[in-house]
Chain A
Amino acid sequence: MLKKRLIGVVIVRDGWAVQSFNYRRYLPLGKPEVLIENLDRWGADEILLQCIDRSSEQSGPNFPLLNRVGSLGLSTPLIYAGGIRHAADAVKVVSMGADRISVDSILWDAPQHLESISRELGTQALIANMPVHVNNNNLFWRNYRTEEEVHLTDRILAKLPLEWISEVMLTDWSHEGVAGSFDLRIPALCPLVEKPLLLFGGLSEPAQHRSMLSKPSVVATCVGNFLNYKEHAIQKIKQQMSGIPLRAAQYAVEAELL
């Protein structure tokens, strides 16, 4: 059967992996490649490389970083996010080793590009990331560059050509980086009914993952900073998730192949 996924997230700013708090404060962690290599070794189901300053600076995807990550020879599927402006960017990102892409700014600036990206890469390769937070039991979608928010309603969603994306990542931006703080109401408040959901932001505890992954609409939970505090963090979370249809914890055994 198709498994639900635990996705490891590496947030990159100014070329460095950072520990992020609400996408407002940052502490440097080191080279992104090192963290990505750890996630690969620990058996993450997918790895999301999220370069958060590329769209703000209009600088396009971080190709030099992708080149370095590509040279690692990852055996785990890689999702790249950051600075993708159009189909040509997306195709180049995939040619350099990413398997899927996640877009955010393009939803605000040029949603018409979703179709051309999808026609090049296939709809299955395209994820929409929507930073959200709950206020008065309503879900608000945030443009992280302008800091404007709109009430996420059917009317707003109808303006987006979401038929060209396969999954939606809902990021609880105001709780991101704060352990155990993900707002568990988010999936229920989201008016999207036909798109599988990925959840991110403040998901640190196995009980939270279990609660969210038990929902039919949620296909993946994502973890960022919290994976960096201990060795084999992915396996340790998975070991506490019995009964949830996750792929079993994996352990590196490459040496026996050669």
Chain B
Amino acid sequence: MSRKSIGIVDYGVGNHTSVQRAFHALNYRCRTTSDPELLAASDVIVLPGVGAHPAAMSALHTRGLVEFLRERARGGQPMIGLCLGMQLLADESLEHGATAGLGLIPGQVVSLGPAHWHIGWNTIEVVNADKLLLPSDGHSVYFNHSYVFNAPQEYQVCVARLKQPIPVGVRRGNVVGLQFHPEKSQHAGRIMLRNLVEGLTCA
């Protein structure tokens, strides 16, 4: 049986090395590329990201990837957004002014407010009984962000608690967004990545 393939979107922003190594460690074939043909041929597209939303959207536009990602999501290709990559899935972000996102999952990215930052290891709580994430319920994963994706409750799949619960996982069909860094969350993160890839590609 051939190994499943992961297409990691290279748009010049972020931590591709870490993400690629994590999927390699799980024995998947990985390509980090901005070539739409190669990404489309992958079993799962992964959209990583570190930094600010406007710069990331600008980089996706420059590489002609915005409409491509929308089409692949509409067509049902599994897609996982990580950290900033999750926030790019939203309708818009208010980071450094309003910027339109990919619009793949309804919602708006807003500042964490008085909390300022969410840095370190926090426990996630799976909501809406999402089957792919349920095995990770109660696990600690690594966060490093200052904006949050406020998605409607029906799209939320996991939350973490600061003073109040905040959405840290969203899903709409085959498109999943995770606010944390599963690639840097040791064993807990790798279990989650494996479950997501296997679950999203089993149909």
Q: Which A residues contact B (CB, under 8 angstroms)?
A: 1-5, 43, 45, 70-78, 91, 94-97, 99-100, 119-125, 166-167, 196, 219-220, 247, 250, 252-254, 257-258
Residues of chain B within 8 A (CB-CB) of A77 are 142, 144, 181, 184
Contact A122 B146 (CB under 8 A): yes
The CA-CA distance from A258 to B142 in the complex, in Å, is 22
Q: What mask results when residues 16 to 38 of chain B are scored 1 for a CB within 8 Å of chain A, else 0?
A: 11100110111100000000000
Residues of chain B within 8 A (CB-CB) of A257 are 25-26, 187, 190-191, 194
Contact A75 B183 (CB under 8 A): yes
B121 and A3 contact, CB distance less than 8 A:
yes
Which residue of A1, A125, A167 contacts B50 across the interface (Cβ within 8 Å)? A125
Decide if B119 is an interface residue (CB 8 Å cutoff): yes
- Bound Cα distance from A100 to B121, whole angstroms: 14
17 A-B pairs, CB-CB below 8 angstroms? A2-B120, A3-B122, A5-B121, A72-B21, A75-B187, A77-B142, A77-B181, A99-B142, A99-B181, A100-B144, A120-B51, A122-B84, A122-B145, A124-B119, A166-B146, A247-B121, A254-B190
Rounded to whole angstroms, the CA-CA distance of A95 and B191 in the bound complex is: 24
Number of interface residues of B (CB under 8 A): 44
B187 touching A254, Cβ below 8 Å: yes
Q: Is the CB of B51 within 8 A of A122?
A: yes
A124 engages B190 (CB within 8 Å)? no
How distant is the Cα of A42 from the Cα of B55 in the complex, in angstroms?
Answer: 36
Tell me if B185 and A4 are in contact (CB < 8 A).
Answer: no
Chain B residues in 8 Å Cβ range of A254? 25, 187, 190
Is B77 part of the contact surface with A, judged by Cβ < 8 Å?
no
Q: Which of A76, A78, A196, A258 contacts B186 (CB 8 A)?
A: A76
B52 at the interface (CB under 8 A from A): yes
Q: Nearest 9 pairs between A and B by C-beta?
A: A73-B21, A97-B17, A3-B121, A77-B184, A75-B186, A124-B117, A70-B17, A247-B121, A2-B122
Q: How far is the CB of A125 from chain B (nearest CB, A)?
A: 7
The docked-state distance in angstroms from the alpha carbon of A7 to that of B146 is 21
Contact partners of A96 in chain B: CB under 8 A:
17
Q: Pick the residue among B55, B140, B144, B191 that contacts A124 (CB under 8 A).
A: B144
Q: How far is the CA of A88 from the CA of B121 in the complex (A)?
A: 28
- Closest chain B CB from A249 CB (angstroms): 12
User: Closest A-chain residue to B160, C-beta based?
Assistant: A2
CB contact between A99 and one of B144, B161, B162 (< 8 Å): that residue: B144
